[in-house]
Amino acid sequence: MRVLGVDPGLTRCGLGVVDGGVGRAVSCVAVDVVRTSPEMDLSARLLAVADVVERWLAEYRPDVVAVERVFSQHNVRTAMGTAQVGGVVALIAARRGLTVAFHTPSEVKAAVTGSGRAGKEQVTTMITRLLTLSAKPRPADAADALSLAVCHLWRAPMTQRLAQARVESERLARAHRAKLAAAARQAGAAR
């Protein structure tokens, strides 16, 4: 499976493509950061990011797009810009029929480092090791994008199994309730 990880941001938007292999094997295909100037109009900034994401989707053909979920930030303006970029990326991917998965920063950190409270430098160091990169991806947005892709590759099978188990559990519960109702009707008719 090939995943495009996106660390959304208006000033710096990290993009990373990672291929997943057997088990937990992962390899880096591409990584970069889209930069836009705060001096630009918001719509122009969003369009600039969208144009690059479109090119990446056409060039690298990922199976899934993993985007960092905006959890909460003290700076509302930054959170809004991050959410807007994430929305643009999700829309572009959805128009291409791609699955879009959102992961929280703590999920990503836990997947890559083992701790949901890991710092940016820990994440960068671990993603460099996991992908056997010759140098640390810089800035941190690039490392975060790669981490999002790896997180999705490692979490997706478990998430799919849980969803399948939930569906099966609900099916069994409905069947059990139907049997109980039928038994209650039979008991009532026998009286």
**Local confidence pLDDT in tens for the 191 residues of the chain:** 999 999 999 999 999 999 998 888 999 999 999 999 999 999 999 999 999 999 999 999 999 999 999 876 677 878 888 999 999 999 999 999 999 999 999 999 999 999 889 999 999 999 999 999 999 999 999 999 999 999 999 987 676 776 678 888 899 999 999 999 988 888 888 87
pLDDT the model gives residue 88: 98
Is position 7 annotated as part of the catalytic site?
yes
pLDDT the model gives residue 189: 86
pLDDT the model gives residue 164: 78
Tell me which residue of 87, 161, 13, 131 sits closest to 5, measured CA to CA: 13
Supply the CATH classification number for the domain 2-164.
3.30.420.10
Is position 144 annotated as part of the catalytic site?
no
pLDDT the model gives residue 118: 92
pLDDT the model gives residue 72: 65
pLDDT the model gives residue 174: 93
pLDDT the model gives residue 29: 98
DSSP conformation class of 22: S
- Domain residue spans in the chain? 2-164
Which residue out of 54, 68, 121, 144 is catalytically annotated? Answer: 68
Record the pTM.
0.83
Is position 68 annotated as part of the catalytic site?
yes
pLDDT the model gives residue 157: 65
Which residue out of 7, 41, 59, 144 is catalytically annotated? Answer: 7
Q: Is 159 exposed, middle or buried (0-12, 13-18, 19+ CB in 10 A)?
A: exposed
Which residue out of 141, 144, 168, 170 is catalytically annotated? Answer: 141
